[in-house]
Amino acid sequence: MICELDRLLLERTYELGARGIGNTSPNPPVGALVARGGCILGEGFHHYAGEAHAEVNALAAAGDARGATLYVSLEPCKHIGQTPPCTQAVREAGIARVVIGALDPTKHGGGADELRREGITVEVADDASARELIEVFAHTIESDRAFVALKMAMSLDGYVTSRPGVAEWITSEEERLFVRELRVACDAVMVGAGTVRVDDPQLTVRPPAQRLRQFQRIVVCERDAVPPDRRIFAEVPGYGRTIILAPGGSRARFRGLEAVADVIYVGTQEQELDLAHALRMLRARGIYSVLCEGGPTLAARLIVLGLVDRFYWAIAPLLLRSEAAVPVLAGVELNGGPRRVQFDRIERIGADALLYGRFLDV
Ligand SMILES: NC(=O)c1ccc[n+]([C@@H]2O[C@H](COP(=O)([O-])OP(=O)(O)OC[C@H]3O[C@@H](n4cnc5c(N)ncnc54)[C@H](OP(=O)(O)O)[C@@H]3O)[C@@H](O)[C@H]2O)c1
Ligand SMILES: [Zn+2]
């Protein structure tokens, strides 16, 4: 039985886990605490892949944990990875009861059953916030390509700018701050060539955030290179060299960018960019999650190919419709791709509405 106090302490493990966001990849962010009689003895979270897991940190902070309850956002691991299994640490510490936020849906699951077999009481809350914390990790284990979160912003009537070739801010300052926070959570930020040509974004995290992993920026190109003097190529401390994704059949056109960026040629003879292949190549380079910030052409292509794993869709309180206005999704017909979406959450940010969701039938 999970009581109100258990729920409160589990919430605390989600807060603790969130402190690792941006640093634990390819591992999930996980939080844990040890409590006895409603009193917290010690807390911990997973800081960085290869370092101690959350449970081990919480047990170390607690000291004598015999007979206590361990609260943990994710099912304790039972396999030997870079560190010994947490099930073993839990048993050795003499923990009597374990309360888990979410089971591990990957092949690494099974720790809960193992603890039960050892005679430890195990409860599972199966909370949406606990599952959200491990979303990218679960994808990383099950798929051979990078996870894609798509962030778009549009007017109430579905446009991004009133005419092509102009950069217009349509969302509130609060919404733009939110996007910069999302940038910390993903291994890399990605935009299409059109956005670099028109907006010339830096795609940095401001104010600068502390992250052990280097920040990465990616530009997706197809027919033409982007000018090498764009701000996205400027060196920034804490950032890796900007990555260009280009079709393998157009090497000559992208050679000029090799001085300012790491150009990844996707395929060999192709003139078109194979996005699924590109995402597999990113994963192979250790980029497990990507935040795509548009624009409309790249976003539509990712959606129709079924390559978007979650979206953040901002709606700004204005109308932009005119003959020349640029729609939020452009360039390709959307039939053939997913037709239905699911809204997981709706929030108000500043003056804007923000929809969190996913595409169904992928
Ligand atoms: N509101 C928002 O959320 C938001 C976000 C970003 C941008 N924007 C706005 O969007 C406008 C730019 O629109 P856009 O559609 O040109 O930008 P885009 O989607 O960023 O870039 C499109 C370009 O990406 C390249 N590309 C590479 N691989 C591709 C593939 N597989 N499929 C399709 N394209 C591929 C192509 O470059 P080549 O030309 O080299 O073939 C294509 O022209 C700007 O006005 C900007 O302000 C709005
Ligand atoms: Zn573990």
Q: Which of 85, 113, 138 is the last residue of a domain?
A: 138
The CA distance from 1 to 359, in Å, is 35
Q: What is the pLDDT of residues 149-193, one digit of tens each?
A: 999 999 999 999 999 998 888 999 999 999 988 999 999 999 999
Choose the residue to mutate in 297, 301, 352, 354 for probing ligand 1, maximizing ligand atoms within 8 Å of C-beta.
Answer: 297
Distances from the Cα of 142 to the Cα of 23, 135, 277, 306, 356, angstroms: 20, 11, 16, 16, 22
- Closest by CA to 76, choosing from 48, 56, 49, 47, is 56
* 83 and 224 fall within a common domain: no
* 46 and 67 fall within a common domain: yes
Q: By the 8 A CB rule, do 152 and 171 touch?
A: no
Report residues near ion ligand 2: CB below 5 Å.
Answer: 53, 77, 86
* 92 and 228 fall within a common domain: no
* 123 and 253 fall within a common domain: no
Q: Which atom of ligand 1 is nearest to the CA of 314?
A: 3
* 237 and 92 fall within a common domain: no
Length of the chain: 362
Q: Which of 106, 138, 170 is the last residue of a domain?
A: 138
Compute, in angstroms, the gap from residue 196 CA to the centroid of ligand 1.
8
Q: By the 8 A CB rule, do 208 and 238 touch?
A: yes
Q: What total of structural domains would you count in the chain?
A: 2
- CATH number for 61: 3.40.140.10
Q: Which of 138, 164, 197 is the last residue of a domain?
A: 138
- CATH number for 353: 3.40.430.10
Whether 55 sits among the annotated catalytic residues: the reply is: yes
* 253 and 181 fall within a common domain: yes
Which range marks the domain in which residue 110 is found? Answer: 4-138
Task: Look up residue 274 and give its DSSP letter.
Answer: -
What residues have CB less than 8 Å from 182, skipping those under 6 apart?
Answer: 149, 151, 291, 312
* pLDDT tens series, the chain, 362 aa: 999 999 999 999 999 999 999 999 999 999 999 999 989 999 999 999 999 999 999 999 999 999 999 999 999 999 877 778 999 999 999 999 999 999 999 998 999 999 999 999 999 999 999 999 999 999 999 999 999 999 999 999 999 999 999 888 899 999 999 998 899 999 999 999 999 999 999 999 877 777 888 999 999 999 999 999 999 999 999 999 999 999 999 999 999 999 999 999 999 999 999 999 999 999 999 999 999 999 999 999 999 999 999 999 999 999 999 999 999 999 999 988 999 999 999 999 999 999 999 999 76
Q: Whose CA is nearest to atom 20 of ligand 1?
A: 192
**End-to-end Cα, the chain, rounded Å:** 36
